[in-house]
Amino acid sequence: MQPLSKRRRNNAQALPTLFDELIFEILSWVPVKSLLVLRSVCKSWKAIISDQSFIKFHLQRSPKDAYVITASKHGEYVAAQSCKMRSLFENPTSTDITDSNSCYLFKTDEYCFNFVGSCNGLVCSLGSAITDSGKKVWVRFWNPATRLLSKNSANLLVDVTSDPFTYSMFGFGYDHLTNTYKVIVICYDEEGKITWMKVHNMGDNSWRDIQNFPDFLTTRTSGQVRRDGIYISNNLNWIAVSNSNPFRKFVIVSLDLGDETFTLMSMPCAFDEVYLEVPFEELYIFLGVLMDCLCVSYDDFYKGTNFVVWQMKEFGVEKSWTKLLNVSYYDLKVDCELEKRHLLSLYPLRMYKNGDFLITLLYYDDLQAVMYNQRDKRVELVKFYNSIEWIFETDYIQSLVSPL
């Protein structure tokens, strides 16, 4: 048996290590806003909170489905900010802009501006401007929780002077194999045929080409088809049309951000039947993520009956497509004339564990939400507070990940 004095010395040496591990564990459950304050408590806490292993561990414990990125007009500016889902309905005043540092402000007439996507607490924004040599495009990375904003990326010149029908799609995601955040741009011609693809790694000062992309057409329509890639399972996904056979078929184009190779996945089996007679330019299809699974939703407004949502239970396994929702406009209490249905846009914002759906409805510029209970077909119509114009990102989570 060790002498008492020696045991005391051993315990004294073990305490600091145990203490640091305990502090690490406790801080990993603390929200980002509070962690930013706690960095000032002492040097050891600042070191823990700034450590990359802690940032990754904290990210894993960050609550999902709690926040969205919204935008609203304020005079000559548009302000983007993160909002708690609950505050959109229960406490409108809590999302008013009181501190410009908590928002991303930009002038509506300064540049063409949009958001590409969000991943691990970072939001990728897109800016563009017309120059004498063509269309200049750049991206920036923003962490709404820490209020850090990167500088503009290297410019990407897109020639629109000789070909005014050149269009582009973007995507933003994280490659966990190389710990790299990537932005993808896909350019296509007036027929929807891909002309080139490029990738930008966050922190680099250039764009590079992606080779060997499959033969597919973009869904260039006058309807509503989400063009920004949906990130899930280390892949970016877009809805497209396969051009590999005489019969055009809707597919999901999936880009693995690790090796930058493509895979074509089939849509749900009933999808082509629904849209067999729908004019191509009138499609209303959205990709998204529900309960950590890829989903596709569509509005068969051509028939004027139902809103449908499918979920891919296991990513990449086409047989795992499962129909989650098939609800009529009558049950949703959507009052819209058939000839004006093209002005209506529905999107499944959230699916809850009890099977309820929160669905957004955008009609003209009026944004509303419907909480739909499938069990008893109960509908609760919810009005967003007046200043919200758009919901840009539905999958945003708060984190300490740095955009710099």
**Nearest residue to 27 (alpha-carbon basis) of 59, 64, 58, 62:** 58
Phi, psi for residue 69 in degrees, rounded to 5 = -105, 120
What is the average per-residue pLDDT within 54-83?
A: 81
- Tens digits of per-residue pLDDT, 181-198? 999 988 877 777 788 889
Q: How far apart are CA 286 and CA 113, in angstroms?
A: 21
Predicted confidence at residue 307, as pLDDT, reads 86
Torsion of the alpha carbons at 65, 400, 208 and 234, rounded to the nearest 10: -40
Q: How far apart are CA 404 and CA 273, in angstroms?
A: 47
The residue with greater pLDDT, 158 or 141, is 141
Predicted confidence at residue 339, as pLDDT, reads 58
Q: How confident is the model at residue 389 (pLDDT cuts 50, 70, 90)?
A: low
- Tens digits of per-residue pLDDT, 298-342? 876 556 578 889 999 999 999 999 999 988 888 887 776 655 666
Q: How confident is the model at residue 163 (pLDDT cuts 50, 70, 90)?
A: very low
Predicted confidence at residue 230, as pLDDT, reads 92
Q: Which secondary-structure segment (H or E) carries 83?
A: strand 77-84
- Work out the angle between the directed axes of helices 52-61 and 43-50 (0-180°, nearest 10): 70
Predicted confidence at residue 304, as pLDDT, reads 59
Q: How confident is the model at residue 95 (pLDDT cuts 50, 70, 90)?
A: very low
Predicted confidence at residue 200, as pLDDT, reads 93
Asked if the model's pLDDT at residue 63 lies above 70, the reply is: yes
Q: Chain-wide mean pLDDT for the chain?
A: 78
Residue type, 125: S
Predicted confidence at residue 162, as pLDDT, reads 45
Beta-bridge partners for 232: 235
What is the average per-residue pLDDT within 45-65?
A: 92
Q: How far apart are CA 278 and CA 382, in angstroms?
A: 31
pTM for the full predicted model: 0.84
Predicted confidence at residue 18, as pLDDT, reads 57
Asked if the model's pLDDT at residue 93 lies above 90, the reply is: no
Is the separation of the CB atoms in 311 and 329 below 8 Å? no
Is the separation of the CB atoms in 361 and 346 below 8 Å? yes
Distances (CA, A) of 183 to 107, 129, 322: 24, 18, 30
Predicted confidence at residue 178, as pLDDT, reads 93
What residues have CB less than 8 Å from 262, skipping those under 6 apart?
212, 213, 214, 253, 254, 255, 256
Q: Is 24 exposed, middle or buried (0-12, 13-18, 19+ CB in 10 A)?
A: middle
The residue with greater pLDDT, 214 or 401, is 401
